[in-house]
Amino acid sequence: MKKEEKKDGLIKARCTQKQKEDIERLAAEAGESVSSFILKMAFRKEGESLVDLKKHTAVLEAILVEVKKSGVNINQIAKRLNSVDNAFLTPADREMLEQYFKQTIELRKLVSAELRNSFAKR
């Protein structure tokens, strides 16, 4: 087992409070200490990712499946409402259903784009 070299050097860097918070958040998301995160960022190879793309891709794929299911459900509701005497459906109900459908489509596009980007980074 390789003995780790003693870390006795210290680097101080000035940044804005927002930058500090962003670095702390990114380090936490990567599961690293701030020190470890900054060192990995400084010495990483070109194209190397700090996050586990497989993990994030799996999560995005699961989200996409759920979004697709929601879209199917909304389509089934809309079809049933349009095929039945919809005297019980108010204009506000129609508007709400249409908004849900549009939001589902937008969410599906965002997740799909994120999946494409994660594969492009590989």
**Structural domain count of the chain:** 2
Q: Taking a C-beta distance cutoff of 8 angstroms, is the pair 40, 23 a contact?
A: no
**pTM of the full predicted structure?**
0.39
Residue ranges making up the domain that contains 86 = 53-120
Nearest to 94 by CA among 108, 109, 74: 74
51 pLDDT above the threshold of 70: no
Establish if 114 belongs to a structural domain.
Answer: yes
- Distance from C-alpha of 108 to C-alpha of 113, rounded to nearest angstrom: 9
Looking at residue 18, its pLDDT comes to 94
Burial group, residue 67, by CB count within 10 angstroms (0-12, 13-18, 19+): buried
Establish if 63 belongs to a structural domain.
Answer: yes
- Per-residue pLDDT of 65-117, as tens digits, reads 888 888 787 777 777 777 666 556 677 877 887 888 788 888 878 877 777 77
- Distance from C-alpha of 24 to C-alpha of 110, rounded to nearest angstrom: 26
**φ, ψ of residue 63 in degrees (nearest 5):** -65, -45
pLDDT-derived band at 17, boundaries 50, 70, 90: very high
Establish if 4 belongs to a structural domain.
Answer: no
Nearest to 7 by CA among 45, 43, 36: 36
88 in the same domain as 37: no
